[in-house]
Amino acid sequence: MLEALKKNPAWKGRQGPVVLVIMDGVGYGKYKEGDAVADSKMYNLEAMKARSPHTKLKAHGKAVGLPSDEDMGNSEVGHNAMGCGRVFNQGAALVSTSIETGALFRGQAWKEVTARVTGGSSKGEGALHFLGLFSDGNVHSHLDHLKAMIVEAKNEGVSLVRVHVLFDGRDVGETSALEYLDPFEGFLKDQSSGGFDAQIASGGGRMWITMDRYGADWSMVERGWKTHVLGTVRQFASAREAVETYRREIPGIIDQDLKEFVVARDGKPVGTIEDGDSVVYFNFRGDRALEITAAFEDENFDKFDRVRRPDVCYAGMMEYDGDLHVPRRYLVSPPSIDRTMGEYLAATGVRTLAISETQKYGHVTYFFNGNRTGKFDDKREDYVEIKSDIIPFEQRPWMKCAEITDQVIGALGSGNYDFIRLNYPNGDMVGHTGIYQAVVCSMEAMDIQLGRLRKAVDEAGGIMVITADHGNSDDMFEHDKKTGAVSLKQDGSPKAKTSHSLNPVPCVIYDPRCQDEYPHSPGEGDLNGGLGISSIAATCIRLLGYVPPEDYDKAVIKMQ
């Protein structure tokens, strides 16, 4: 059990709670064209900025534990950083290092999955299947990791490899599938010699099959199971033929929504998953890995009829849930995140509410708590999930921001909480659709709720910290990297960008009762500059009237 935080005797404190508002996917855009945040009428946010200290925080690359500053941030690492107050090396960096040093291939999990299919076990020879997100977005996975494992599998005597691809279109260009597919097919062809057979076996878009999260839509996972395991879906001669056919049949479809397919020869799928095979789910990020993992591992699984559950040696790239130890076998150990803000607050007796809708509920709980399932203190913490609509986000761009706000306003009025954290998913989830008008609508809908929150915080005598976990809606068009010009489609319209941005995010300290506690006047840059979102934890702890742990990254505010 951690020791309680020490009180700061110099801080006068406030009557009401500190409210941390995470505007998911909202940053400061680099380009005027395509910045849906700047293009939206965010009257309430701008009014609070005008009277409050505010600054920009880094939310990508090394600031959130990723390998380089060319790597975009994401919700998982962003909430980790905000919740633990420090920067830990994250999935992409850990996996890359493990492959470079060979540690992954020396590990017990890798030895078990390869032994199963090389005759090194009583099960005899079988196929080694790789399933995961097929891109180099470095948010959930990276193709370099997949290629390295295929090369090593060949070197170790594996003779049969099948790849099940989940097309991206969110963390990379929305219609970039063939840019990855064609070179990869060439790579597999080059590897397939000397008795080694590697082929793409099945696939589909990440938002149509397999990669659901938080139990939002189990039908996605069921479609994935029928595709990768059973092979009972539409057949094509190649993955390229599948992509081209669906694009022709469904005009305007983007990669994340591509329908399911299997590659077949003579009417028979080339790579269903059978008894005696091994399966590696090569995504390193956990949120969209847990459900398909449960389908493979859970003997009492009841979310859909699996028809058959093959006897396979299953491994995840990482441990996706450290408390539940899921999966049972994993190739790379995740970062060990300890002493999170939530754990300190529980030890100090701070009453906490965490709330979002389904799409981001796990981020303000599991990820914010350092990849930990459950509460630190059942008596002092309440977690509330607002069920998300199962509908394309561009059709309901306001999502559940009003319902979240309703709950928070009630919590503010109750006097039951000292610290409230919430996530508005709009900027990220709608931003990923690439529909500009919908994103503007989502921003303005969220801003209305910020106005409601402001009034409630005023009445409660509290403080509101407004920030984001990464950018997205601030960068909705593809731009030429050299000239900055907007990339255009054949019809002359801007080419949509559906991935996260490398842009900084806001940090606004709205404190209506502030007098002289902060030695700065309101205005951009008046807070300590050059910091990342890991500074949010120390900031909130200070505003609650406590002294942050010494090794936490420094707060964005200076107090008397």
Active-site residue set: 75
**How many H-runs (helices) and E-runs (strands) does the chain carry?**
16, 19
Comparing CA positions, the residue from 359, 369, 474, 352 lying closest to residue 423 is 359
8 Å CB contact between 25 and 468: yes
- Residue 86 Cα distances to 113, 138, 253, 465, 551, angstroms: 35, 21, 40, 18, 8
Residue 132 has φ and ψ, to the nearest 5°, of 170, 180
How far is residue 167's CA from residue 207's CA, in Å, rounded to a whole number?
9
Structure-token pair, residue 42: 């965010």
Comparing CA positions, the residue from 394, 400, 513, 388 lying closest to residue 462 is 513
How far is residue 521's CA from residue 528's CA, in Å, rounded to a whole number?
13
Over 538-555, what HEC string results? Answer: HHHHHHCCEECCCCCCCC
8 Å CB contact between 79 and 24: no
DSSP, collapsed to helix, strand or coil, labels residue 215 as coil
Which DSSP string corresponds to 480-528? -TTT-PBPB-TTSSBPB--S-B---EEEEEE-TT-SSSSSS-SEET-SP
Over 389-414, what HEC string results? Answer: CCCCHHHCCCCCHHHHHHHHHHHHHH
- In the block, tokens 């946010």 appear at 45
How far is residue 40's CA from residue 29's CA, in Å, rounded to a whole number?
12
